[in-house]
Amino acid sequence: MDQCEYRSGAMLRESITPYPFLKKGSYVQKEVEEVKRYEILFILRPDLSDADVEAHRERIKQVIEAGGGEIEKIDLMGKRRLAYEIEKFREGIYTVLYFKSDAATVKELERVVGITEPIIRHLIVRHDEVAS
């Protein structure tokens, strides 16, 4: 019969492991955040001044960089007509950012963008490679 140890009422089996090919105590599980590529498109209200537009773009970049992310490319698409009216606006100022980050930073970015009032729409997706 197996050797057993009793500790605080619980029986621990020291000799039986679910993976006999691993040495006892040699496996340490670590949490590793994987860095992936993402793309965020956000549409700002068209009635903002150029300074306000740039301030909101900088805020988004700061959130990404504060979380350890790296911005790869920024596409400033400018003012474009919307396919349908959003919050009584027919136009919007489009910006696309390509960046590398972990999932926690993307979650924080989603939160910040969601509570930023001048952003009328946004979309964050995983992206495999940056378009040239």
The predicted model gives 120-130 an average pLDDT of 88
Query: What is the spatial distance between Cα 44 and Cα 124, in angstroms, rounded to a whole number?
Result: 15
Confidence of residue 7 (pLDDT cuts 50, 70, 90): low
Contact (CB, 8 A) for 74 and 129: no
The single-letter code of the amino acid at 123 is L
Question: What confidence tens digit (pLDDT) does each residue in 70-90 have?
Answer: 999 999 999 999 999 999 999
Confidence of residue 128 (pLDDT cuts 50, 70, 90): confident
The single-letter code of the amino acid at 111 is R
Query: What is the spatial distance between Cα 71 and Cα 90, in angstroms, rounded to a whole number?
Result: 29
Confidence of residue 127 (pLDDT cuts 50, 70, 90): confident
Looking at residue 13, its pLDDT comes to 53
Question: What confidence tens digit (pLDDT) does each residue in 25-54 have?
Answer: 655 555 666 899 999 999 999 999 999 999
Contact (CB, 8 A) for 14 and 4: yes
Q: Does pLDDT of 2 surpass 60?
A: no
Global pTM exceeds 0.75: no
Looking at residue 23, its pLDDT comes to 62
Query: What is the spatial distance between Cα 30 and Cα 46, in angstroms, rounded to a whole number?
Result: 47
Confidence of residue 62 (pLDDT cuts 50, 70, 90): very high
Looking at residue 19, its pLDDT comes to 62
- Buried-exposed string 36-75: b where 16+ CB fall within 10 A, e elsewhere: ebbbbebbbbbeeeeeebeebbeebeebbeebebeeeeee
Contact (CB, 8 A) for 102 and 31: no
Length of the chain: 132
Return the structure tokens found at 18.
């679910």
Domains assigned to the chain? 36-126 (3.30.70.60)
